[in-house]
Structures are given as structure tokens and as C-alpha cells.
Amino acid sequence: VFQLSVPLNFLGSVYRELRQSLLDMETLFNLQKVNVAVKDKPDAKPLLLSSGEIKFENVTFGYRPNRPIFKNLNLTIPAGKKVAIVGPSGCGKSTILRLLFRYYDTQEGRILIDGQDIRDVSLESLRKAIGVVPQDTPLFNDTIGHNIRYGNLEASHDQVIEAAKRANIHETINHFPDGYLTMVGERGMMISGGEKQRLAISRLILKDPPLLFFDEATSALDTHTEQSLLSHINSIIKERKRTSVFIAHRLRTIYDSDLIIVLKGGSVAESGTHEQLVDRAGLYSELWSAQETLFADAEEEKEVAGDA
């Protein structure tokens, strides 16, 4: 009896681990709003990436067919450029990303990556090509080191550390009680929103995908950390010529993009560089002025508080 209880206990713990990781996957899938109806075609081929151009052609889509979010949306995200997608809350910025990942299929029109309709390629190759730093990063009940390695399971410890350094989180991890072996997640040490975002960026650096998406990726960081991280990200993008898309509310984080696409009412309201859009005196320029006023007020408040 005694001998038998050992392997049973062992199995029990394996079962608990397995159960926990399934729970984690569920959370991850819920966060990403996966639609299981989307499947590979029987003859699906792997996505072949060349330059990394993304095109939405006449895309009509709504979560409910009678409530379209996009109506004949046309947009091109040029290869190797830094592109921002902005627009009022609820205009469909994150939906662009969900469609690209094929969590949903379009009702009309098509989405092309380097000329290939994403419905013709395997889901695995499609999702492997896209890296995302989401608004809320899922953490696994595991060590912080493994949480970074989740970006690339084959990465060595040195590569994990290098990625953490580039994402500005190495020093923070060194101050954790067990360094890279510190348990995080629901059953481990709680880490802040800003630390989670830097963790997600280190995962992305390890994954090194050809297409990069940042969905409000630096919103939980203070201005100083955000600026320093954005300049790191910018240098990675430039150095490796990655197509990168920033979904953003705060225009200060994206005004230096090669192209800014402004969505409104289901289609592209305007697009261009920051200078072009400010000159146009349209929606972007309105949003920019409103945010700059808020920013100036906040700075003034800080100064007043500092003087007091």
C-alpha cells in the first residue's frame, strides 16, 4: 500500500500541474477571445513571409452580423515600417489584431500577408509569424524565467537574460527574492502592470517574430520607463526592419510612426504622418490638441505639487 501511494501522489501532483496549465490556457484563450469555429483548410499551406506587408481589402466584419464594426475597410500596413492605428474607443483597433490572428474570419473581403489570403495558410504558421504585446499579459504559474522563455521554448538561459535586459526588466528581476527562479502568477509573487508589460516585451524579443503588434503595450508604465522602453523597441524595429503596428490611445507614444491610420465609423478616416495629419486639421489633429492640453495641465499640476 505504501509503495503504491508514492506513484499516486506523484501522479496527483502531475495531474494538478496539468490541470493548472489547462486553466492557464483557458485564461489565455479567454483573453484572446478565441473562436474555435476558425479552422485550417484541408490544403492549408504554411505562410511564406517575404517583406511583411499586411493588407485589408474591402473587409466587412461584425461580432454580430447585423452590427458591423468594419464596412469595406481598406488599409495597407507597409512592410518593415512602424505603423500606428488610432481612433476613438470602440472603433475596432483591437479587432484588427483579432482578425489578423484569425480568431474570427471576415464576413466579406480578405486579409493578405505578403499577398497570401490568411484563410489559405495554416493557423500555426500564421500565429507564429505575429508577436503581440497585449494590454493585459497572461502570466503562468511558473518562475519568472520560464514566463519569459514562453516566447521561445528553445531559448538558453543567457538568451532569456539578454531579452530581459533589452526589455528593461533584468534589474527588477534580480531584486526579486529568488531572481529568475521567483514564482509568479496567481499562486506566486504578484507583479505590477508595468512589470508585466516589460515581461511581455522580453517574451516578444525572444520570439522575434516578423510581424510585431503592440496593443496599448506601454500604458501601465510611468512616462520615464515608457520613453526608455519605446526607444529600445524603436531600435529593435529599425535594426531588424520589422513591420510593427502600435495600437494606441496616447498619441505621444506613436507620433513618430512612419504611418498613422485613423479609424472611425468602420473605415479609415484619414492616414499619413503626424505632420501631414496635423496640417489636415481633421480628427487626428483634434485628438492631438485635446491630449496635448491634458498633458500640459498634468505637467503643470505636477510642478505646482512639486513647489508646495
Cβ proximity to ligand ATP, 61 vs 140, nearer residue: 61
Which residues ranging from 120 to 139 are in contact with ligand ATP (CB under 6 A)? none
Q: Which three cell numbers stand for residue 108?
A: 466579406
Cβ proximity to ligand ATP, 91 vs 130, nearer residue: 91
The residue type of 47 is L
CB-count exposure of residue 20 (10 Å: 0-12, 13-18, 19+): middle
Cβ proximity to ligand ATP, 61 vs 176, nearer residue: 61
x/- site string to ligand ATP, residues 47 to 76, per CB under 6 A? ----------------x-----x-------
Closest distance to ligand ATP from the beta carbon of 281 (Å): 23
Q: Which three cell numbers stand for residue 277?
A: 495629419
x/- site string to ligand ATP, residues 71 to 100, per CB under 6 A? ------------------xxxxxxx-----
Q: Which three cell numbers stand for residue 259?
A: 504611418
Which residues ranging from 17 to 36 are in contact with ligand ATP (CB under 6 A)? 33
Residue 106 makes contact with ligand ATP by CB under 6 A: no
Residue pair 15/9 in contact by the 8 Å Cβ criterion:
no
Q: Calculate the alpha carbon distances from 233 to 50, 165, 210, 213 in Å.
A: 22, 12, 14, 11
Q: Calculate the alpha carbon distances from 148 to 4, 89, 156, 196, 210 in Å.
A: 37, 31, 11, 10, 19
Size of the site for ligand ATP (CB under 6 A): 10
Closest distance to ligand ATP from the beta carbon of 31 (Å): 11
Binding site for ligand ATP (CB under 6 A): 33, 63, 69, 89-95
